[in-house]
Amino acid sequence: MSKLSELGHRLHRGEVSYDFVGKRRIWYGFSILVTIVAVVGLVVNGLHLGIDFSGGAVFNTPKHTSISVADAQTRIKGDTGGNDATVQKLGNGSLRIQIADLSTDESKQLQPKIAADLGLKPNQIDAEIIGPSWGKQISNKALEGLIIFLVLVVIYLAIAFEWRMAVAALIALLHDLTITTGVYALVGFEVSPGTVIGLLTILGYSLYDTVVVFDGLKEASKDITKQSRFTYSDIANRSLNSTLVRSINTTVVALLPVAALLFIGGGILGAGVLNDIALALFIGLTAGAYSSIFIATPLVAEFKEREPQMKALRKRVLAKRAAEVAKGPRPADEGEAVDAEDGDDDLEDAAPAGAGVVGPRAQGAGSSRTPRSQPNRGSRGRGRPSGKRR
């Protein structure tokens, strides 16, 4: 059995526990810092919208063109209508020249000039023109789709779980969106329809990971107020630990092909058209895994701990733990008797359906119980006239 698999089993059984919920202030501070950097990048650099959103023209040269990307950029520099041109080398050897913010008339006037700069005839260049009104319509539709998606997610989570979990999941999704778009602005990659597809994909992935943790937390916290050994934060932390290794494995497996697209396909092989969707997926999957573990569940625990019932529960739990510490270590027989009368019921209430245990016993005392010594029954019949046992 591998070390990671063994760690996963120990986390699920409660033998090992990382205090994600208790250290939530650290995760919040780190997320706020990264979000501020992303927002600054958006404000300063802005998003580099592709022609599908801003309008413009795309000119494609014949296959197996011998002109390099740098040479083509130098030749057409004065004939782009004052706009920046993006030149890419496609897999079939042709050049793709993209110039944004051009009207239809301007695009038609530039086509023969670019052909002459490259030493080609005007009919050898294929031109694709996208009007600004079409790009604006696409942008509005993408924004409407994103808003509808977020609203439906909140409604579903509020019905399936509760409104606190819905709010926490929404905050985590907005966190992922902000970081991904901020990185796009800082890197300067072009925002294309592939970028929108990537954003929606990572939102769904982030939501899936969050719902898995929430589902376990909902089961584990059922009837939690009927016991006095574990707080809501204890149960939330245990639910998070029980799915930690699965979240890591899922994220790594998802990132491997995306990293191949981004670094090998886009970086080494030069397939620039893959960069748009690959970067969105890579940053979004990483941010989604982080927010599911370090943002969503700690937020739910913080919201729940503010409820009067959970405050009263925490007060009882802390009082009971303080009393146990004041009594000091107990003999093995006495400790076992107390566990048999009170502790087992608390475990069942606090962690139903195999959710495990969080608390003092889960952090070292759970696997070292001493069996209660039984009286010797072999001498019951001795001393009686018949010598027989009854």
pLDDT digits (tens, 9 = 90+) for 106-136: 778 888 888 888 888 888 888 887 766 666 7
**Is the pLDDT assigned to residue 29 strictly greater than 80?**
yes
pLDDT tens column, 298-325: 999 999 999 999 999 999 999 888 888 8
3-class SS string, the chain: CCHHHHHHHHHHHCCCCCCCCCCHHHHHHHHHHHHHHHHHHHHHHCCEECHHHHCEEEEECCCCCCCCHHHHHHHCCCCCCCCCEEEEECCCCCEEEEEECCCHHHHHHHHHHHHHHCCCCHHHCEEEEECHHHHHHHHHHHHHHHHHHHHHHHHHHHHHCCHHHHHHHHHHHHHHHHHHHHHHHHHCCEECHHHHHHHHHHHHHHHHHHHHHHHHHHHHCCCHHHCCCCCHHHHHHHHHHHCHHHHHHHHHHHHHHHHHHHHHHHHHCCCHHHHHHHHHHHHHHHHHHHHHHHHHHHHHHHHHHCCHHHHHHHHHHHHHHHHHHHHCCCCHHHHHHHHHHHHHHHHHHHCCCCCCCCCHHHHCCCCCCCCCCCCCCCCCCCCCCCCCCC
pLDDT level of residue 267 (50, 70, 90 thresholds):
low
Highest mean pLDDT, choosing among 41-55, 70-84, 239-253, 280-294: 280-294
Please give the Cα distance from 128 to 77 (Å, whole number).
19
* 387 vs 56, higher pLDDT: 56
Q: Where are the domains of the chain?
A: 3-49+134-305, 56-130
242 contact partners, CB below 8 Å, separation of at least 6:
11, 12, 216, 355, 356
**Residue type (1 letter), 341:** E
**Is the pLDDT assigned to residue 351 strictly greater than 60?**
no
pLDDT tens column, 63-121: 877 788 888 888 888 777 677 787 877 767 788 888 877 777 777 888 888 888 888 88
221 contact partners, CB below 8 Å, separation of at least 6:
232, 235, 236
* 146 vs 1, higher pLDDT: 146
pLDDT level of residue 32 (50, 70, 90 thresholds):
very high
**Is the pLDDT assigned to residue 349 strictly greater than 80?**
no
User: What is the model's pLDDT at position 36?
Assistant: 94
Highest mean pLDDT, choosing among 2-16, 352-366, 374-388: 2-16
Angle between helices 3-13 and 232-242 (to 10 degrees): 150
> If 0-12 CB within 10 Å is exposed, 13-18 middle and 19+ buried, where does residue 297 land?
buried
User: What is the model's pLDDT at position 26?
Assistant: 93
In this structure, how many other beta carbons lie within 10 angstroms of the beta carbon of residue 152? 10
273 contact partners, CB below 8 Å, separation of at least 6:
88, 90, 194
Mean pLDDT, residues 222-237: 88
Share of the chain above pLDDT 70, in %: 75
Buried b (16+ CB within 10 A) or exposed e, 236-273: bbbbbbbbbbebeebbeebbeebbebbeebbeeeebbb
* 386 vs 12, higher pLDDT: 12
The CATH superfamily of 3-49+134-305 is Multidrug efflux transporter AcrB transmembrane domain (1.20.1640.10)
Please give the Cα distance from 12 to 17 (Å, whole number).
9
- Quote the mean pLDDT of the chain: 76
Structure tokens at 102: 């051009």
Class in CATH terms, 56-130 = alpha beta
User: What is the model's pLDDT at position 266?
Assistant: 61
Please give the Cα distance from 275 to 166 (Å, whole number).
32
